[in-house]
Chains A and B, each alone.
With several copies, the nearest count.
Chain A
């Protein structure tokens, strides 16, 4: 699936997007955050306060307990500051 990162999540990870292939056991957004946190220093830093990280599956906001299922796109970002 495609992973997108925005704002300081993007800056810490060092890329705006990538294709990821999480292992079988990764079922929820929280599982995916846990797995990504182990992918390197930048990831660990990006997700260190994972409660503050927001997620969207296929361009709709979801909570961390949401099932990923067949989503084609997941995005991680800080709380929004538009408007």
Chain B
């Protein structure tokens, strides 16, 4: 039952990279009641080789609070034993991780659904903005919000 599980919760916004294994262990260590752990790692793509780096700007303070609100909503919706969200800001090179979501639960369905929900809402609600720096002389520019991301978030409102 969701009520009797202590939900371990970690939300961090940081410049440095993260260690998925260590973050997962922090949720699962010492527990033998868990049946499922899902991790999602969002990586910086090279966009066919043209991207030199991604610069991620964020709203300090609000970023943590907004992620916290999305995490609370996920915990209301699914019986989760643990949730971790780590989001980076600053300069990120292709191949590096940007965002981590870990969900732990008794059964697989809630871990999958909650992780997917968290990512959809981080995309549309968490105050982060990506700017592309290109390998060539051109400066790149701000990444536009995707209608597909809004649609992905909308599907949880049914």
Q: Is the CB of A75 within 8 A of B62?
A: yes
Give the size of the chain A interface in residues (CB under 8 angstroms). 17
Q: Which of B54-77 contact A (CB under 8 A)?
A: 56-59, 61-62, 65-66
Residues of chain B within 8 A (CB-CB) of A10 are 57
- Given A80-B123, A82-B87, decide whether A59 and B65 contact each other with a Cβ distance below 8 A: yes
Q: Is the CB of B144 within 8 A of A81?
A: yes
A20 to chain B, nearest CB (A): 17
A25 within 8 A of B: no
B115 within 8 A of A: no
B20 to chain A, nearest CB (A): 16
- Of the stretches A1-9, A32-40, A42-50, the one at the interface is A1-9
B93 within 8 A of A: no
Q: Is the CB of B59 within 8 A of A56?
A: yes
Residues of chain B within 8 A (CB-CB) of A8 are 142
A residues whose Cβ falls under 8 Å from a Cβ of B: 4, 6-8, 10, 56, 59-61, 75, 77-83
Distance in angstroms between the alpha carbons of A10 and B55 in the assembled complex: 15
Binary A-proximity of B87-131 (CB < 8 A = 1, otherwise 0): 100000000001100000000000000000001001111111111
- Give me the 7 closest cross-chain CB pairs, A-B, nearest first: A82-B128, A79-B145, A83-B123, A7-B129, A59-B62, A83-B122, A81-B143
- Contact pick for A81, options B62, B66, B128, CB 8 Å: B128
8 contacting pairs across A/B (C-beta < 8 A): A56-B127, A80-B123, A80-B125, A81-B130, A81-B142, A81-B143, A82-B99, A83-B42
Residues of chain A within 8 A (CB-CB) of B87 are 82-83
